Structure 1
């Protein structure tokens, strides 16, 4: 389906971005989520992975990362503390799953298993969006 070099490049991209994502999460935790811009930063970072996954045809990875991107942007514009705490947990879960994506991307059977998990997590993220951020319209970066 894909040559090994393309897959290695994708895995490297995920791993390179991971450190910045961890820094973003640390910023949220240390500020007790007062620094909401970190949600947006995380959204921008995951958007890069989403774009590559969509381009390469990894539909489950793309769909899940899009949901994570959307919830990140919504949390950045929300005063819903409970929703932001739940979003933070979802972002931490994303970090864990990104490691599993990297481990399984070269094995079709492992990829099927992670895709199932990604579909379940996407459903949880989408439910969080509907329950906690139903009044927030922001789903992408605002460059104003």
Structure 2
């Protein structure tokens, strides 16, 4: 992948990140009573997921898919404990997005972040199984 594509990907993450922090703030302010913030976050992550998959960034795209799934599942749940854990998980994503942007230009750093993303992906899958086991929603419902 050339530097131009990497720069495009980093710019996309940074642009979307602003909206993600607003979605998290909205969730916190509403005390997670307005589930639409989770769905909004899932839609934003889906954009990054699509780009990462297109660019062949396997670990990043798999992590993004896990974040997207947990966001949508939280949006369809009334499990307050699960939603609180999801907000913490989404905040962690925002922190990791900065690290992804920094590591994307360095193969060695990218390998390190990929290992961390695999761990976080496992955490998301565990969160889904433990807190949202009865929720089937893993994408945006389009009517």
TM superposition score normalised by structure 2: 0.99
Q: In the alignment, which residue of structure 2 is the partner of 1:141?
A: 140
Q: CA deviation at 1:121?
A: 0.5
Aligned twin of 1:71: 70
Q: Secondary structure at the match of 1:32?
A: coil
Give the 5 Å matches for 1:119-134: 119-134=118-133
Q: Cα offset for 1:66?
A: 0.1
Distance 2:121 2:110 in 1: 16
Tell me the residue number matched to 2:100: 101
Q: Which residue of 1 aligns with 2:45?
A: 46
Q: Distance in 2 between matches of 1:62 and 1:96?
A: 17
Shift >2 Å, 4+ stretches: none
The answer as to 2:86 corresponding to 1:87 is yes
Q: Which runs of 5+ in 1 are unaligned?
A: none
For 1:60, the equivalent position in structure 2 comes to 59
RMSD of equivalent CA atoms: 0.4
Q: Distance in 2 between matches of 1:76 and 1:108?
A: 36
**CA–CA separation in structure 1 for the residues paired with 2:60 and 2:104:** 10
2:23 aligns to what? 24
Deviations 1:18-64 (A, max 9, x none): 00000000000000001110000000000000000000000000000
Distance apart, 1:9 and its partner CA: 0.3
Note the C-alpha offset of 1:99.
Answer: 0.3
